[in-house]
Amino acid sequence: MVPATCYLVLSAILFTLGAIGVLIRRNALVMFMSVEMMLNAVNLTLITYSRFLQNVDGQVFVLLVIAVAAAEVAVGLSIVVALYRHKETTDVDEIDLLKG
Amino acid sequence: MEMFIFFTLAAVAVAAGVGVIAQRSAVRSALFLLVNFCCLAGLYILLNAQFVAMVQIIIYAGAIVVLFLFVVMLLGIEHAEESPDLRRYQWIAGGLLGILLLAGILWALIPGVTGAFPALTPVDNVRQIGAALLTDFAIPFELVAVVLLVAVIGAVALAKKRLEG
């Protein structure tokens, strides 16, 4: 039997990897993928506690998170496409329209 | 046996996560992301959340990663050109901040060590989720439909070409 802590530590590691990805990558698409990884890490925590507390509410939360993540990806990727059409790049350092 | 499956899936998930952020090619990052999602689906099955595991495969691995791949291939930006000197400095700073974050999370986590899982009672996972979705969570469940509708409209409005004149 794997203790619950193992799942929580794995989830922490995956969340950290996602956060590092957002910090060090400048490609908007890869940053998006890192955000998805962070959402997944949180989902893993929710399911671990759902199993631990014998309560199905955590899994319902995960389903809602997945639905919101799908909506986020649809909007986010169309923003990336619109930016690419405008600036010919997905490098977030070059997208400085609001910098003045 | 369960221990072995867990550590195999965990190791592959972490390795794929490193692959996502370390690969220069966005296509390879997306494929590593796919591996990561599939490993997490396996872990969900270990945690007795079979329905969520299937949803994870269908929506994340099936729809979201394919959407990423579509955009990467459409834009033709497999190789993101990034200036190397800036990147090295960013890798160090990002890595240090990440380690700090991990230490913070573990520091918060370890005092609340939860121990082993309670014994599994044989229950119908899908039936339970369905009952919860349509009773306690009926309003959030309906609101998700609105969120998805707004997202679809927003995506179409953002992606369509401006009509000239």
Contact B26 A27 (CB under 8 A): yes
Q: DSSP letters along A42-80, please? A: HHHHHHHHHHHTT-THHHHHHHHHHHHHHHHHHHHHHHH
pLDDT, tens digit (0-9, with 9 covering 90-100), for B82-141: 555 566 787 888 889 999 999 998 888 877 666 667 777 667 888 889 999 899 899 999
Are the C-beta atoms of residues A23 and A38 closer than 8 Å to each other? Answer: no
Residues of A numbered 36-95 whose beta carbons fall under 8 angstroms of chain B's beta carbons: which are they?
Answer: 36-37, 40, 43-44, 47-48, 50-52, 54, 56-57, 59-60, 62-64, 66-75, 77-82, 84, 90-91, 93
Query: CB count, 10 Å around CB of A24?
Result: 24
Phi, psi (rounded to 5 degrees) for B82 = -130, 140
Question: For an interface test with B, which of A22, A23, A35, A42 has the most B Cβ atoms less than 10 Å from its Cβ?
Answer: A23
ipTM of this predicted complex?
0.91
pLDDT at B25: 84
A6-57 pLDDT tens trace: 888 999 999 999 999 998 888 888 899 999 999 999 999 999 988 888 888 9
- What is the pTM assigned to this prediction? 0.89
Show the CA angle centred on residue A11, arms to residues A8 and A17, nearest 5°.
Answer: 145
